[in-house]
A and B are shown apart, each in its own frame.
Chain A
């Protein structure tokens, strides 16, 4: 396998881009491979995490030389983020990008769950993915109400649109969101990459929703963004708590750069749009140099070899955007009614959960329920895309006249 530690990449001094290079041509607003959009959204989340992580590191670092080095690489990460996110076309609406975000959350998390070697961590992804799956369905109904368009235009039959674990049930006491971390010294290096990838993606979703929500005038849109952004914040708590807090800053920097290499390399392999592929290729070459500098810092400050952290055998199997319909249906059929208590998973509605539900809902229907009800009132049905047959959970099948694309 490709081992990024063996490559030098583009020298850091050659990485600053000018305005012309930053001004990338966006992807086509209509004729686009939905998974190209997903790769862009996922990489944007990773780059945003690279930037925010580096800021946090700098605030906790007393060495001015290191701070300058971090500032320089952070500037490069910033330019990468601008290039990646600016690939999204201006004609896309906020809600269309939102549908893309949830499609990412669904198919990225499902892939990671399928490839996670550690059962305890896999359970965490399987649990979370059913919640974003439900968000996709709620937003798809909002989309048709507000923009009169169909989510099919965005997800294009690759991802089904139907209820997951109902969003109303996702609001639980924050205590119960905190998981047990993996042990950095025992865990498979793949698990570190998985956790960081999903954490970065969910964090980006949270930040996006909490900022774009108030741009809507339609009350139901404003309220739905408020509700789902609160869940996304809980998802960040859920996933970030999987990461061992004992990892040093140097170690974390190394894992960040290594994860970026893994993802650009993965996406480069599978990208269908040649122009976007060229960007993944270029960014991989840049990340290789970031990784070298992180590895040097790690060696210098910890007196250890980077292979001890990320493994010596090169990158794992490429992360792939692909349909996960059967897997998701299996999860729906088996884990729909799962809840969390303490650091574990339970099936019964426990006291702390009920307490939280009461505080928040206060006897009213949350926006995620209202949006479906309003859609049924206006269109006579709800919006779903069930390509593989009726919903695996009988109680969640469309009542009357559910259109299936």
Chain B
């Protein structure tokens, strides 16, 4: 689909990731067994890709705008907190007692965080950063997306492709490298 959409900027891509993250939360919450395990795996990986892209590209760009430090600090604090909840969930696995409650907590935190970005951060970037610059950054977001899960409906493909990419949480480092390569 991205090919069909002309002139997407980095924010369009991040918004599309927010939408996919929301869908994956619904999928994890409503499934069981292997389907749930794979959906959760995809969710963890996508969150990792997404947050890394924002930390590397979006938040630093926001810092260049006047009076934005407090706003960016708040977003980063939310991301740190979400990461901790995420780590607990990953460590325990989908069968751990309390997974459902933890997932709900994480979901609310992630959705709220995403809406804060959409309400207060992204519009400022679109208003103050030249459109060409935001379009240019789309390449780096795409480079990060290469590490995101690709199966359209988790469960229909083997998890082998994702496993080959390594443990889900370690993906952040590779994403970071890819982003830096793409933007240098």
Contacts and interface: CB of A to CB of B under 8 A. Distances in A.
Given A217-B126, A380-B4, A91 B115 contact: yes
B128 to A, nearest CB: 11
Interface of A: 29-31, 90-91, 93, 147-150, 153, 217, 377-380
A378 B5 contact: yes
B118 A147 contact: yes
A284 to B, nearest CB: 31
Given A29-B108, A30-B107, 5 more contacts: A30-B111, A91-B112, A147-B15, A153-B22, A217-B126
B26 interface: yes
Interface string B1-40: 1001110000010011011001001100100000000000
Given A91-B115, A217-B126, A378-B6, A31 B29 contact: yes
B58 to A, nearest CB: 15
Contacts of B112: 90-91
B163 interface: no
Q: Interface size class for chain B?
A: 20 to 34
A153 B5 CA distance: 21
Contacts of A217: 123, 126-127
23 contacts: A30-B22, A30-B25, A30-B26, A30-B107, A30-B111, A31-B26, A31-B29, A91-B108, A91-B111, A93-B115, A147-B15, A147-B118, A148-B12, A148-B15, A148-B16, A148-B19, A150-B19, A153-B22, A217-B127, A377-B6, A378-B5, A379-B1, A379-B4
Contacts of A378: 5-6
Nearest to A29: B111
A156 to B, nearest CB: 11
Contacts of B29: 31
Contacts of B108: 29, 91
Contacts of B15: 147-148
Which 9 A/B pairs are nearest by Cβ-Cβ distance?
A148-B15, A148-B16, A380-B4, A149-B19, A148-B19, A91-B115, A91-B111, A378-B5, A217-B123
A153 B19 CA distance: 10
A307 to B, nearest CB: 49
